[in-house]
Structure 1
Amino acid sequence: MKILVTGYTGQLGYDVFHYGLQQGLQMVGVGSKDLDITRREDVSQYLNEVKPNAIIHCAAFTAVDKAEDEKDICRSVNVDGTRNLAEAAQDINAKFMYISTDYVFSGEGQTPFKETEEPGPVGHYGKTKLEGEEVLKQLLNNWFIVRISWVFGINGNNFIKTMLRLAETRDELNVVGDQFGSPTYTFDLAKLLIDMIKTDNYGIYHASNDGFCSWAEFSKEIFRQANLSIKVNSISTEEYPTRAVRPKNSRMSKQKLIENGFSPLPSWQDAVTRYLNQLTQEVE
C-alpha cells in the first residue's frame, strides 16, 4: 500500500510517515517546500505521478491566532488546498483521510462532543477546518475525517516543550484552568491513523488520548513526572486574552472508534510518561 502524507514535516505528519515506514508500507511524504497544495494544477500533476492508494492529509494552517489576521491565506490552505487534493484523489481513486480539529465545535457546555453533533466553530481557523470537512463530503465517497486535539510530538513545538522551557527560568507559572480537553501524543495517534487507513470503515472519528484535563492540570502533571518543583497557578481564560477565542470545552467522545473496532488510545498521563522518556532519549 502506498500512502501519501501531506505536512510530513509537522508534528503529526512526521510520526505518521515514520510509523508507516516501520510497518513496511510505501510512504511518500510531501511538505510545503515540495508542493504548494493551493495550486490546483500542481496538485493534480503530483498525485497523478505518485498515484498513492491513500492520502493522509495532515497539512494545514494551524496558527489559530494568526488565522484571524491572515484569513485569506488560512482559507486558501485549509479549504482550497483540501479541495485540490480531494479532486486529485478522486481522479486516481485514492482513499482520503482529513485531519480535523476540536475547533470545529462551539466549545460550550461540559459534556464531550459526539461525532454526530452539529459543529459550530467560533474562530476563523475552526471555520476553515469545518469547510474542509464539507469539501470532502461533497467530492468523495471513501473518506475519513479524524478530529484531534492538543497534540504533542517529538518533531516541532508544543505545550509540553514550552512548559519544560519555561521551567528552566521560572519557579511559578500562570496557566489557564477553565479550558478542558484531551492531550494527544502524535506517536499514539499515528498508529491509529495507519491502522484506520487500511480499513474501509469510513466516516467521522474523534481521536485523542483517553481522559480529560485542563491546561493547568496538564502542566502540573508534566512537572510532576519531570520531577520539577514549579508552582502552577490556575487562571481564567479572561485573565489570559488571546487574538482568537479558545474553546473552554474541547472534550470529544471517542465512541465511534470503539464501535468500529479500533483500540482507544492510552491515557494522556501514560502518553506524557512515554513522551518525556522519548525527549530524554533525543537529548542523549
Structure 2
Amino acid sequence: MRMLIIGRHGQVSRELQSRLGAVGELIVLGRDELDLAQPEQIRRQVRSVGPDLIINAAAHTAVDLAESEPDLAFAINSTAPGILAEEALTLDVPLIHYSTDYVFDGEKVGPYTEDDTPHPLGVYGKSKWAGERAIAEVSGKHLILRTSWVYSNHGRNFLLTMQRLLQEKPELRIVADQIGAPTWAGTIANSTLALIERWQAGGTAWGTYHLTAQGETSWFGFAQAIGEALRQQGKPCATLIPIPSSEYPTPAVRPLNSRLDCSRLAREWGVSQPDWQTALQACLAGQP
C-alpha cells in the first residue's frame, strides 16, 4: 500500500512517519514539494504518486497570524482539502484529514459531539470548518479527525515552550479558564494507524470524528504537570500563577471550552485514546 502523507515536518506528520512504515510504503511531501496554496500543484503531485491512501497532515496552524492573512489560511485549510478530496474520489481511495476544536465557539457547557453545529470564532477556525465542509461535499471516502491542544517533542508547541520558560523565569502567568485535552501527536498517530488497520480489515464508517486524549485540564493545569515533571528531574521550575483569558489578550479569540467527546470513534471504529496525563508521560519518556 502506498500512503501519501502531505506535510513533512509538522508534529503529527513526524509521528506518523515513525509508525506507518510498518503497514506500507510512505511518500512524504513537504512544502518544498507540494505547496497547498497552489491547486494545480496539488493535483499534479497526487496524480504522480497515485496513492492508495492520502493523509493530509499539513495546515496553516498559526492561529493569531491567520487573522492578518486570511486568504492564505483559507487557501491551505479550506481550498486544498477540497481538492485533495476530489483527487481521492477520482482515485477511489480514502482521505484522512485533521481538524480542530477551534471549529466550535467554546460556549457549550459540556464536551462537544460531532452532532454539534460548529461556530468558529476566528479565521483559523473558520478556515478549518470550511475545509471540513469542502471534503464532506465531495462525498468520497474520508475521515475528518478533530483534535485539540497538540504537542510533541518536536516543533513549536506549549510543552516545549513551557519546558524552556519554566526553567528561565522565576514566575509565569498562565491562562486557567480555557479547558480542553492536551493531545500528544503520538496519540494521534497511534490512533491513525489503528484506523488504517481497521479500514484494511473492512471498516467503512467514514465521516467526522473527535480524537483527543481523555480527560480535561486548563492550560494552567497542563503547565503544572509539565513543571512537576521538571521538578522530578531535579530541574528549576518557575512559580505558576493562574490568570483569566482577559489578562492575556491575543489577536485571535480562543474558545473557553475545547472539550471534545470522543465516544463515537471508540464506538464505530473501536479506537480510543489514553488519558492526557498518561500520554504526557509517554511523550516525555520518548515512548512510541
TM-score if structure 1 supplies the norm length? 0.94
Equivalent in the alignment of 2:207: 203
Post-superposition shift, 1:154?
2.4
Equivalent in the alignment of 2:157: 158
CA distance in 2, matches of 1:229, 1:74: 36
Aligned counterpart in structure 1 of residue 216 of structure 2, from 202, 207, 212: 212
How many correspondences in the alignment? 278
Equivalent in the alignment of 1:189: 188
Equivalent in the alignment of 1:282: none
Post-superposition shift, 1:235?
0.1
Q: Secondary structure at the match of 1:260?
A: helix
Please say if residues 167 and 238 of structure 2, whose CA atoms lie closer than 8 Å, have aligned partners that are also in contact: no
**Superposition CA RMSD, Å:** 1.4
Please say if residues 89 and 141 of structure 2, whose CA atoms lie closer than 8 Å, have aligned partners that are also in contact: no
The amino acid across from 1:9 in the alignment is: H
Equivalent in the alignment of 2:138: 139
Unaligned runs of 5+ in 2: none
Post-superposition shift, 1:275?
1.5
Aligned counterpart in structure 2 of residue 263 of structure 1, from 243, 265, 271: 271
Post-superposition shift, 1:63?
0.4
Post-superposition shift, 1:145?
0.7
Q: Does 1:252 align with 2:252?
A: no
Unaligned runs of 5+ in 1: 280-284
Post-superposition shift, 1:263?
3.1
CA distance in 1, matches of 2:259, 2:230: 26
List aligned pairs for 1:19-38, cutoff 5 A: 19-21=19-21, 23-38=22-37
| Identical pairs, percent | 34
Aligned counterpart in structure 1 of residue 230 of structure 2, from 219, 223, 226: 226
Deviations 1:93-128 (A, max 9, x none): 120111000000011133000111111111111001
CA distance in 2, matches of 1:65, 1:59: 17
Post-superposition shift, 1:169?
1.4
CA distance in 1, matches of 2:119, 2:222: 26
* Range 38-47 or range 116-125, more displaced: 38-47
Post-superposition shift, 1:141?
2.3
Please say if residues 100 and 147 of structure 1, whose CA atoms lie closer than 8 Å, have aligned partners that are also in contact: yes
List aligned pairs for 1:65-214, cutoff 5 A: 65-198=64-197, 199=199, 200-214=204-218
Post-superposition shift, 1:40?
2.4
Please say if residues 37 and 85 of structure 1, whose CA atoms lie closer than 8 Å, have aligned partners that are also in contact: no
CA distance in 2, matches of 1:94, 1:231: 51
CA distance in 2, matches of 1:240, 1:51: 47
Equivalent in the alignment of 2:251: 243
Post-superposition shift, 1:78?
0.9
Please say if residues 39 and 84 of structure 1, whose CA atoms lie closer than 8 Å, have aligned partners that are also in contact: no
Deviations 1:227-255 (A, max 9, x none): 15432110000000000001100000011
Equivalent in the alignment of 2:282: 274
Query: After TM superposition, where is structure 1 displaced by more than 3 Å over at least 4 residues in a row?
Result: none
